[in-house]
Structure 1
Amino acid sequence: MTRRIAKVRAPELNGRGWLNTGGETLRIADFRGSFLLLDFWTFCCINCLHVLDELRPVEQKWADELVVVGVHSPKFVHEADPVALAAAVERYAVHHPVLDDPELETWQAYTARAWPTLVLVDPEGYVVAQYAGEGHAHAVDALIGELVEEHRAKGTLQPGDSPYVPPTVEPSDLRFPASAMRLDADRLVVADAGHNEVVVLGAPGAERDGEVLQRIGGFNEPNGVAVVPEHLREQLGYDLVVADTVGHRIAAVTLADGKVRTLAGDGQQWMAGDGVTRLSSPWDVVFWRDLVWIAMAGTHTIWTFDPFTGVVEATCGTTNEGLLDGPVAEAWFAQPSRLAVDTERDRLWIADSETSAIRYLHDVDGELHVSTEVGTGLFDFGLRDGDVAQALFQHPLGVAVLADGSIAVADTYNGAVRRIHDGVVSTLATGLMEPSGLLADDADPTTLLVVESTGHRITALPLGGVVEVDGFAHRTQRPVTEVAAGVELVIDFTPPPGQKVDDRFGPPTQLLVTSTPDALIREGEGRGTDLTRRIVLDPTVGEGVLHVAARAGSCDIEAGEGAACHMHQQDWGVPVRVVVGADAELRLPLGGTA
């Protein structure tokens, strides 16, 4: 049976307003009689987007008993914009009510510490479970299955009509386009994520400028597309390579007949512990050094695909989320999103969105390394020009190499296009609608094509002077946890109903602890298999962020050797302050009943 402790009433749902309710304001009492699953998310977060997808079957299975409510708790300033949130709810096909919580009021009331966090409330209005991270859909499903008969027998399960009201969507040729590449003198090819298509358009200045020439479906939110070099097309037998993001695959397209075939990935998202080569939200693809390079946003890594042998493998990164330079096997990324080849310097530029950084791969003494041009880490962002050491971006999703060797950046959440040249950042344009892709046009080096994602269009931007901006600097603000200098870190994990922790093949758990700044931790840093660890913090440093990454595996109890196994995982960034007499225990919920 599931472990139970004293019941806690679900706090009220407070925020700025509601989406997907037809203008109605909902209260916690409105969900009495149904199971309520609160999904605390923010639309920049790839793990949150994974959870949206993995919850869809649960929503469908328990449609008569369960209501899912998204609680949008923003990280970046732009995400607190209600217009931007409404666009994200449409873009990511969120088909349930969403509470807009820009001040993190409901986030704090439910003691959320991570994006994403799930909280299950029973039909009587009591919190019964909390989960951090992704991979918990099966646990939610199992727990509802255990509780539903109990509440039917008590007469407390009496669901009403769904409060979801779909928004009105205006038709357009492009819908949340993500990136564009030049196919030839007369055509562009666009990854049109909102339509789940790759679209061929008439190129600017061509006879059929802007006209849709071909639509190729069969994708699930494609975000990146690469044109196969002309000298390889006949040999490879296809014209395009597509990063099919929510399809978790790399696909090939033959334009003559519009056929699509899978090059890598089986459509299932990679999770820690998988024994097969799967992909996780590939965001972009480019050809460099005779390979296809893949920005694997879902695992915070860079992969390669050999188009001649079919071999696909992780090349750069550790799956730890953050900003750490050095040899590719040791580097950390955070949702690498767009790639751009710098032929002149033999570099691969990377828009590393969650660290608001622009980074690059290059050779150092014959080995591939990662270096950062602009950016400092997960929590610092803004809009600031000047020397690269001081400049700031806000969740950039696009990067391109211009004809003069400077680097153009789609500074997405600032609605701007920026430029890095000779160690200095300047702003070329502002007022754009979530620019997410850039195309430096060899045919016209005086113009940069900008993919405005929430504008559903491609805009030609003349390259010329700079724009003066009222800059700002921001550090992600979340409630600071006061702790003693010696603190016991406890990761709470309980296997879902019908499952157990299975250690037949080695330790089923893993815990990694680091900090910013590094000097914050005196003892207890590093990797281990115990989900409880004593950490000694340096009072002279005083405060900082604990970076905690935890995993736990569970398997079905009854199925023997054929038992289905699941991996639960989450990364936390917990702001802490060392205070004499403060709590000597820090508990983080990976997953389990309340």
Structure 2
Amino acid sequence: MCASVRNTGAGRRVGLLVGRSRVRAPELRGRRWLNTGGAELSLAELRGKIVLLDFWTFCCINCLHVLDELRELEQRHADVLVTIGVHSPKFVHEADPDAVEAAVERYAVHHPVLDDPELVTWDAYAARAWPTLVVVDPAGYVVAQLSGEGHAHGLDVLVEELVAEHEAAGTLRRGDGPYVAPPEPATALRFPGKVVALPGGTFLVSDTAHHQLVELEPDLVTERRRIGTGERGLSDAPARFSEPQGLLLLPEPVAAAAGYDVVVADTVNHALRGLRLADGAVTTLAGTGEQLRTRVEVGAGAGELSSPWDLAWWQDRVVVAMAGSHQLWSFDPATGVLTVLAGTTNEGLRDGPRADAFLAQPSGLATGPDATLWVADAETSALRAVAPAPAAGAEVATAVGQGLFDFGFRDGPADQALLQHPLGVAVLPDSSVALADTYNGAVRRYDPATRTVGTLARDLREPSDVVVDGEHLVVVESAAHRLVRVPIPASTRVDAGAHRVRRARTDLSPGALALRIDFTPPTGQHLDTRFGDPTSLTVAASPPGLLAAGTGTAPGLDRALRFAADGPGEGVLQVSVAAAACDDGDGVFAACHRYQQDWGIPVRLVDGAPAELVLDLRAVHEG
């Protein structure tokens, strides 16, 4: 599962697993190397350096968080630490070499990257989830393996310890690393993200990789003005952004009262910004620049955000697609209050009341004339719908999509149709829904009246947003660094096949299965038991018929499961766990931390295979 492990605690060297023999780091093998000037790297030639392997895939919001977290660590230890990204794809599109190269540029990856489309190195290191971080010491041994995000502090401590140890032993080698910067690109826009039509016929586009907003004339090429310095940062005067995405033009009365016209999802700053069109003034509306690291329930408010990706106006509020926490939030321009609208923070596809629904990296929003809120739910390759229900709150339903592990390019009845990581959505004049089906390079159309899916346009390069412009759609063709117009034709039927996530399966015994989560709080912390069991374990399966018993959410880190005797024999176990630990010594005033991870584990039932599955919530492997 993309973003299948999420850690929201402060990192330290924790969870030592003693009694294991030292493990020599397997060699790095893949299709090719990027950011090395054409050279191939080996761990042997990196001996004497501390090597940090970052197993990532570019669809994964948690992987993108880790890229940002590692920047300061890489700079601080530049003479001793070599970070190597190992790109291990989830989606078919992510195995395309041009797409990988574009992603490395798009997300400003400033370290060598091994392109590993066949998951050779992934399997060699027994990675189970994106992102996974592995530390190799200067002698070439694996000393740590951590899943999820939030480990920057712990990695910093570990690197300092390894530097002291190996400098004393004479086995540390200082000096420049093997990173070679690629040539600087030269296009007017660079990986634009989202677009909104402005009064007067112009268009405002988020020029994401340039960290700016650009107002374009109706020809979609001529620039009227740029907003922002182009330097990554968070400031209002001068205006600085960090990979902005979603844009929303407020209704005129609301804008007049608020003092700004456009709300901007400033994604990597984890902030909402306000733009006044008259003079280009920018105001920070919400967010501190720090990523939200705690779980926030539906109805509650928060001061920090987590990768806001898109925006829509719905029920007199700004709705925020909070991709980083797998939720929908609302923002009130009149009061500045942020509250959670839908989603539990569990990543997945589950319909129902907004407080119980699972979302998966929501990345596109649009409102229909019947007050339906449409959501491009990227990681489940799904189109979701949120309907207002005053008596019970918003209800979440799935229009198109099968789940975290099924995707493809197929038109037809909605319950059989397949998408691949859609990022944008718009409502057409006939109330049908257009989708920027990003990894299929297409614009798709869902008709709620007939519950069918068709294709409006193909052969686009990572379309990330769509907006209606008369009889045309304006499409953000992100990987082509441009906006294009396409007519709104009658849909044409496509069936290019179905796909499932390609990962090595874990063999387990049929019948009973003992699931155990290993969790050791960091040094100086303890499990917070003042108000009961501070842990929560959620188990589900895809397909649901894989498990006969043990699904659902309950406290505890152990669960007795049972595979269905007449079940499919293989599938995916979805496991989500959370635990709270507090600092020692401060009583009721101690700072507390939440640790959470999600796993999606492909399994196959084989007689004689293990009847126990152990997962590490936070583990450092040492020899």
TM-score bracket, shorter-length normalisation: over 0.9
Measured in 1, the distance between the counterparts of 2:530 and 2:162 equals 32
Partner of 2:467: 439
Aligned 1:72-471 pairs, distance under 5 A:
72-204=87-219, 210-216=222-228, 217-272=239-294, 276-343=302-369, 345-364=370-389, 366-367=391-392, 368-421=394-447, 422-441=450-469, 444=470, 446-467=471-492, 469=494, 471=496
Measured in 1, the distance between the counterparts of 2:376 and 2:243 equals 19
Cα RMSD for the two superposed structures: 2.2
Deviations for 1:419-473, whole angstroms, at most 9, x for unmatched residues? 12332211121111100000101xx2x1110001111100011222445545111
Partner of 2:548: 522
Alpha-carbon contact 1:450-1:461 (below 8 Å) kept: yes
Aligned 1:534-545 pairs, distance under 5 A:
534-541=560-567, 542-545=569-572
Partner of 1:578: 605
Distance 1:328 1:112, change over 3 A: same
Measured in 2, the distance between the counterparts of 1:569 and 1:37 equals 22
Alpha-carbon contact 1:34-1:160 (below 8 Å) kept: no
Percent identical across equivalent pairs?
54
* 1:24 corresponds to which of 13, 16, 39: 39
Distance 1:491 1:515, change over 3 A: same
Distance 1:401 1:194, change over 3 A: same
Alpha-carbon contact 1:510-1:528 (below 8 Å) kept: yes
* 1:503 corresponds to which of 523, 528, 531: 528
Alpha-carbon contact 2:78-2:176 (below 8 Å) kept: no
- Report the alpha carbon displacement of residue 591 of structure 1 after superposing the two structures with TM: 2.3
Distance 1:572 1:310, change over 3 A: same
- Paired residues, what number? 586
Measured in 1, the distance between the counterparts of 2:488 and 2:78 equals 52
Measured in 2, the distance between the counterparts of 1:222 and 1:371 equals 28
Partner of 1:54: 69
Query: Match of 2:62, SS?
Result: helix
Distance 1:128 1:473, change over 3 A: same
Alpha-carbon contact 1:135-1:567 (below 8 Å) kept: no
Deviations for 1:27-85, whole angstroms, at most 9, x for unmatched residues? 12122111111111100011111111112222122222211111110000000001001
Query: Match of 2:155, SS?
Result: helix
Alpha-carbon contact 1:384-1:472 (below 8 Å) kept: yes
Letter in 1 for 2:226: Q
Measured in 1, the distance between the counterparts of 2:583 and 2:358 equals 33
Alpha-carbon contact 1:135-1:566 (below 8 Å) kept: no
Greater displacement, 47-56 / 507-516: 507-516
Query: Match of 2:388, SS?
Result: strand
Deviations for 1:403-433, whole angstroms, at most 9, x for unmatched residues? 1222111110011111123322111211111
Partner of 2:498: 473
Partner of 1:590: 617
Distance 1:179 1:461, change over 3 A: same
Letter in 2 for 1:69: I
- Report the alpha carbon displacement of residue 285 of structure 1 after superposing the two structures with TM: 1.0
- Report the alpha carbon displacement of residue 396 of structure 1 after superposing the two structures with TM: 0.6
Measured in 2, the distance between the counterparts of 1:501 and 1:189 equals 50
- Report the alpha carbon displacement of residue 317 of structure 1 after superposing the two structures with TM: 0.9
Measured in 2, the distance between the counterparts of 1:88 and 1:105 equals 20
Deviations for 1:297-316, whole angstroms, at most 9, x for unmatched residues? 11111010111122111011
Greater displacement, 264-273 / 62-71: 264-273
- Report the alpha carbon displacement of residue 210 of structure 1 after superposing the two structures with TM: 2.8
Measured in 1, the distance between the counterparts of 2:339 and 2:390 equals 23
Q: Which runs of 5+ in 1 are unaligned?
A: none
Alpha-carbon contact 2:515-2:613 (below 8 Å) kept: yes
Q: Which runs of 5+ in 2 are unaligned?
A: 1-12, 229-238
Query: Match of 1:298, SS?
Result: helix
Letter in 1 for 2:538: L
Measured in 1, the distance between the counterparts of 2:70 and 2:590 equals 22
Query: Match of 1:501, SS?
Result: strand
- Report the alpha carbon displacement of residue 554 of structure 1 after superposing the two structures with TM: 5.1
Measured in 2, the distance between the counterparts of 1:22 and 1:559 equals 52
Letter in 2 for 1:116: P
- Report the alpha carbon displacement of residue 505 of structure 1 after superposing the two structures with TM: 5.0
Partner of 2:236: none
Letter in 2 for 1:417: V
Alpha-carbon contact 2:446-2:452 (below 8 Å) kept: yes
Partner of 2:10: none
Query: Match of 2:108, SS?
Result: coil
Alpha-carbon contact 1:201-1:212 (below 8 Å) kept: yes
Measured in 2, the distance between the counterparts of 1:174 and 1:366 equals 46
Measured in 1, the distance between the counterparts of 2:520 and 2:163 equals 20
Greater displacement, 70-79 / 546-555: 546-555
**TM-score, normalised via structure 2 length:** 0.89
Deviations for 1:240-282, whole angstroms, at most 9, x for unmatched residues? 1011111111111112232221212221111125895321001
Greater displacement, 256-265 / 456-465: 256-265
Query: Match of 1:403, SS?
Result: coil
- Report the alpha carbon displacement of residue 549 of structure 1 after superposing the two structures with TM: 1.2
Measured in 2, the distance between the counterparts of 1:535 and 1:568 equals 23
**TM-score, normalised via structure 1 length:** 0.94
- Report the alpha carbon displacement of residue 401 of structure 1 after superposing the two structures with TM: 0.8
Query: Match of 2:162, SS?
Result: helix
